[in-house]
Amino acid sequence: MGPFAKDTRDLVTRCKIPLRLVVNLSEMTFADADGEEVLSWLAQIGGEFVAENCYPLHVCERLHLPMAQKCAGSLPEAK
């Protein structure tokens, strides 16, 4: 949401962006317009996304966010 979206953008712009920026959205339960704008911006700067649940998967699909390839052991397995 608004303030968190701004904080995220500020944090990323202050840090050196890693060669592979992976954003895990699996626990996201809501994204407002500001949040969606930041997600799209993260994709524009090379971010890839992980989404394990219905809502974040829907957001990724709707915003055309690139999905990260899963690597063995990179994420905890769903139980």
2-50 tens-digit pLDDT: 788 889 888 888 888 777 889 999 999 999 999 999 999 999 999 999 9
Output the pTM of the full model: 0.80
Q: Is residue 70 part of a domain?
A: no
Asked if pLDDT for residue 76 goes beyond 80, the answer is no
**Please, which pLDDT band fits residue 77 given cuts at 50, 70 and 90?**
low
Query: For position 12, what pLDDT does the model report?
Result: 86
Identify the domain containing residue 12 by its residue range.
2-63
| Of the candidates 19, 21, 74, the residue with the CA atom closest to the CA atom of residue 52 | 74
Q: How many domains does the chain have?
A: 1
Q: Is residue 75 part of a domain?
A: no
Helix, strand, coil percentages, rounded to 5, for the chain: 45, 10, 45
Q: Is 72 among the domain residues?
A: no
Q: What pLDDT score was predicted for residue 74?
A: 53
Residue 35 domain-assigned?
yes
